A = this chain, B = another copy of it.
Amino acid sequence: MKIGIIGLGLIGGSFALAAKKYINGVSLYGQDYNPENLTEALQLGILDYSLEVQDYAMMDIIVLAIPVDASLGIGISILDQINDNALLMDVGSTKAAICKKFELHPKRNQFLATHPIAGTEFSGPSAAFAELFVDQTQILCETNKTRPDLLEWAVHWFRNMNMKLHEMDAEAHDKHIAYVSHISHISSFMLGKTVMEKEKDERAIFDMAGSGFASTVRLAKSSPDMWTPIFKQNKENILEVLREYITNLEDFERLLMSDDYDQLFEQMKSTNAIKTILAGINEKNTTK
């Protein structure tokens, strides 16, 4: 079996390693717009071969693990080229646009839209590891549009990887993910921006900031290449949650201005219920 990985970052590289680990007799092919990533992935043994455009038709599986605008850009051409028994899957953080784009393609039933909820602090091939996805959620969208035999193969693979499968409508995915992921990135980017604008002296931040600050601005390290197209594709949902977030911050501001500390206390107290949710997420992440 030949698997092609397009995009050799943390996610693509980890899918390659998980394929090597969980599928017998597999050959891994890969490509990346950055030649250094390709060289590194070959050197690290993540890949067996470089994937060229003329190889697409030879692949049994192709995984698209590139920014979501790039997937839209080259997806149709890849779908055109794959053979009649191959599966193309993407792993992007938005699902409606790609499902829409492929909707009328004659090979739509050879495509599977997925979103693995996994990641770490780090990026690039050297950050990849086969167990990244263990116990993590794999969201599958519009599975009824994928050919049953290809879907079954993918589900079998994801189950072998110990992923927790979760089927969702693509539009519902994008709406929910705006709340539980995309807004966190905006919050973190703008918090980092606010602090850096004010504290020109990095030393002062370094001396006074603790683990709480580090935690809230961590996502501000994220790649703009990856996130700009996500924000673009999920614009409407993000604008909705962003407005609600700003409204809550302005409520907080008004309560503080008017010295309504009882109400501030109550808001924080009820938000403490997030503990239950965080305990669940942390448990999920520490069982790896």
For the complex formed, measure the closest distance between the CB of A66 and the CB atoms of chain B, giving whole angstroms: 16
If A117-B210, A118-B210, A190-B249 touch, whether A277 touches B183 (CB-CB below 8 Å) is: no
Bound complex: CA of A209 vs CA of B164, how far in Å? 13
The oligomer's copy count stands at: 2
B166:A179 contact, CB within 8 angstroms: no
Q: Which residues of B contact A276 (CB under 8 A)?
A: 202
Bound complex: CA of A239 vs CA of B281, how far in Å? 32
Which of A14-22, A151-159, A221-229 is found at the contact surface with chain B? A221-229
Which of A42-50, A57-65, A105-113, A250-258 is found at the contact surface with chain B? A250-258
A274:B224 contact, CB within 8 angstroms: no
Q: Which residues of B contact A216 (CB under 8 A)?
A: 184, 187-188, 215-216, 218-219
Q: Which residues of B contact A202 (CB under 8 A)?
A: 276-277, 280
Is A238 at the interface (CB under 8 A from chain B)? Answer: yes
Q: Which residues of B contact A219 (CB under 8 A)?
A: 212, 215-216
A241:B194 contact, CB within 8 angstroms: yes
User: Out of B213, B252, B275, which one reaches A221, CB within 8 Å?
Assistant: B275
Q: Which residues of B contact A224 (CB under 8 A)?
A: 264-266, 268-269, 272
Q: Which residues of chain A from 231 to 250 have any CB-CB distance to chain B below 8 Å in the complex? A: 231-232, 235, 238-239, 241-246, 248-250
Rank and list the top 3 A-B pairs by shortest CB-CB distance, nearest first: A224-B268, A184-B216, A180-B209
A residues at B contact (CB < 8 Å)? 117-120, 136-137, 139, 164, 166, 176-177, 179-181, 183-199, 202, 204-222, 224-225, 227-229, 231-232, 235, 238-239, 241-246, 248-250, 252-253, 256-257, 259, 261, 264-278, 280-282, 284-285
